[in-house]
Structure 1
């Protein structure tokens, strides 16, 4: 039987299960998605009972299979989500969605008690306060549902709850605590004072390293069970482990997030910038991150371009970088697009497309989006002297985006990777004893180096 590491990689939409061999090659995968259910206020939320049943069913089936011998299992999930357990280890509430609005009176009472706001956000590495901060979820629960709150034995972040399902052991770990929770004081490397004043430390389980695993007998099988990891930190891990020199990672998708794991100044000096925040590496070190809703905006604007020019939905995928077209655009450059999900001081009052060809309008769109991306990368770099940029996710295959980015950062080395397994592979690596070498990205991630185009 092939020896494997199992990983559950739980996104908001897709729930994935992978098996990796000793060389971290994927040998099995399964996908499922569940319809959301509603919490008591009618807000959509994760179907936790269905998720729990699926986890158990899939894993038990794999254990019975004669094809694989599971040696270890770990869990990667989205962040900002807590499961509150009672004395018997059962969830007390729905898994509240981080998109749920937080009442204004809760935020104002919080800052009255623990402000000033600017100082607090700077210390905790948060951009603002909402349900996206799991610490505020606890504060909201204590103040709006005190009877429920009194019954909480442990509050676990989602990756640790999935681990708990298999081990029955309640633990906390750095990457979940460090992702914009408002719980952590980055200056003193401990929970913020407010957490102790509210006595939340009593229901937050002991903190262990993300690399911790529990050796146990599970259904007659000796298995190493990981404590789980936040998906963004997991996606960063293969890079951190295999690259010796400093770099930033531009992880593109609906959100484009730039990670600087080598920052000298993790907390942004400009606390009014809503899209600068901190994550945490598996060893508790801060990661400065900047984000922009780039993929979302791209989708919105491409949809409009398709309708405007009467082309098919996937026509944009066929457009490659053309130097002459780009040169025409930059001769007398003007911003043409008004964004719908991004605010930028350079955008016009309304979108104005003066081009007769789709290709020209599309080049203009990507040029403007890349200008936003450049700002985001520079913000993450701060004053740090970093010579390498890696790009993964959806935009890593966009020819115009990559050519323009490598042209702008021509003094740096820009590479793309195909990290479709990103967070799942990171979860497997975090509980492995295997050392990664510099060839890992080339072998597993289709690493490709890009040379800037020559300006003629």
Structure 2
């Protein structure tokens, strides 16, 4: 039997289960996705009972499997989500989706009590006030659904709720509290005063370190059960544990999130950044850009304009001559759809005659936005290393242009679809990671800037 650590990695779309051996190599995986259900207002939300049923079923099967010996289990999930439990440990409400619109009256009354808004956002490391801040969900429940709020014994962040399913012990931990919840005051290193004034601390369980585990007996087996971890903090953990020098991680996908775990100034002066938290409670300054979403929209338009197949963009490689031509009289050509910038035109205009040229124009403009996002997160910190993972790590133009613009930094790409799951496994292990870990487990690649002719 192989000794393994089990991890449930729960995303909004895909629910995954992994087993890792002692060297953190994946030895087993299982995926599932559920149709969303609707809350009482008809807004789509997670099917909590189906999720719970699946978790228990998968775990029972693995416990009975003759080839694996489960030593530990942990949970990584998306943030900004609470499960509210009554005195019997039953969920009182649906798992409200953080995309659900929040009543403007609630936001207004909150700002009147605890504003000014800019000051509040800076102290709590938030970008806006919405249900993306799970603390606002508690305020909304208290003032809009008081009869339900009165019945809440504990409100658990989603990673800790999954742990609770297996242990029956309600807990809170730093990475879930610290991810743009509006609950944590980064200047005081404690819950923000509003949490105490609204008496929310009474329903928030005791805070423990993310590395905490609880020893439980399952069918006569001793198993270490972790308290769960927020997925963005989890994805950062293998880097923090294995790299000794300061770095910024650019985690790309639908959102491109730049994470600076070494900042001395987590509170952004320009209000454009958000905060996450490391497992030891230290702040991580982060900036975000809706990069993958915009890329998808604009590439689809280019495909239609030039009559090429859907995946043609994947084959386009960086061409120095095209790039030089675009930069000779550089002009922003694309009108963005998922966000707006000061220098974008009112309409998209593509004078280029080939797909390759238009694609180079698009990537040049997108990478300029990415550079600003990375510079904002670095601030005044002396950081010489950049790591890029996720969808854009194998985009030739993105990487070439990024390494060109950051010629003074060492750029590395990593390839791990396991990021947050691996972080969850590492957080409850006593294993020390060395500098070879990323090379062995993450296909680490070095990149050098192209030669300027």
Alignment match, 1:360: 357
Alignment match, 2:411: 414
Partner SS for 1:343: coil
Alignment match, 1:380: 377
1:219 deviation in Å? 2.9
Alignment match, 1:150: 150
1:179-258 correspondence runs (5 A): 179-258=179-258
With structure 2 as the length reference, what TM-score do the two structures score?
Answer: 0.99
Alignment match, 2:84: 84
1:220 deviation in Å? 2.4
1:119 deviation in Å? 1.3
Partner SS for 2:323: helix
1:436 and 2:433 equivalent?
yes
Alignment match, 2:277: 280
With structure 1 as the length reference, what TM-score do the two structures score?
Answer: 0.99
Which of the residues 278, 282, 295 maps onto 2:292? 295
Q: Whole-Å Cα distance in 2 between the matches of residues 6 and 433 of structure 1? A: 15
1:226 deviation in Å? 0.2
The C-alpha deviation readout for 1:372-411, integer Å capped at 9, x for no partner, is 0000000000111100000000000000000000000001
Moved more, 112-121 or 402-411: 112-121
Q: Whole-Å Cα distance in 1 between the matches of residues 363 and 270 of structure 2? A: 27
1:349 deviation in Å? 0.8
Alignment match, 2:266: 266
1:270 deviation in Å? 1.5
Alignment match, 2:138: 138
Q: Whole-Å Cα distance in 1 between the matches of residues 73 and 430 of structure 2? A: 14
Alignment match, 2:303: 306
Partner SS for 1:41: coil
1:64 and 2:59 equivalent?
no
Partner SS for 1:265: coil
Q: How many residues align?
A: 453
Alignment match, 1:319: 316
Alignment match, 2:331: 334
Alignment match, 1:170: 170
Q: Whole-Å Cα distance in 1 between the matches of residues 38 and 112 of structure 2? A: 32
Q: Whole-Å Cα distance in 1 between the matches of residues 315 and 242 of structure 2? A: 33
Alignment match, 2:109: 109
Q: Whole-Å Cα distance in 2 between the matches of residues 301 and 119 of structure 1? A: 36
Alignment match, 2:340: 343
Q: Whole-Å Cα distance in 1 between the matches of residues 320 and 122 of structure 2? A: 43
Partner SS for 1:105: helix
Partner SS for 2:375: helix
Q: Whole-Å Cα distance in 1 between the matches of residues 261 and 360 of structure 2? A: 32
Moved more, 368-377 or 325-334: 325-334
The C-alpha deviation readout for 1:285-316, integer Å capped at 9, x for no partner, is 00000000000000000000000000000000
Alignment match, 2:74: 74
Partner SS for 2:75: strand
Q: Whole-Å Cα distance in 1 between the matches of residues 405 and 452 of structure 2? A: 12
Alignment match, 2:118: 118
Q: Whole-Å Cα distance in 2 between the matches of residues 51 and 267 of structure 1? A: 36
Partner SS for 2:423: helix
1:112 deviation in Å? 1.0
Q: Whole-Å Cα distance in 1 between the matches of residues 253 and 246 of structure 2? A: 23
Unaligned runs of 5+ in 2: none
Alignment match, 2:395: 398
1:251 deviation in Å? 0.2
Partner SS for 1:6: strand
1:435 deviation in Å? 0.2
1:61 deviation in Å? 0.3
RMSD over aligned Cα atoms: 0.6
| Moved >3 Å (runs of 4+) | none
Q: Whole-Å Cα distance in 2 between the matches of residues 342 and 240 of structure 1? A: 31
Alignment match, 1:50: 50
Alignment match, 1:455: 452
Q: Whole-Å Cα distance in 2 between the matches of residues 439 and 44 of structure 1? A: 43
The C-alpha deviation readout for 1:329-358, integer Å capped at 9, x for no partner, is 111111111000021111111000111110
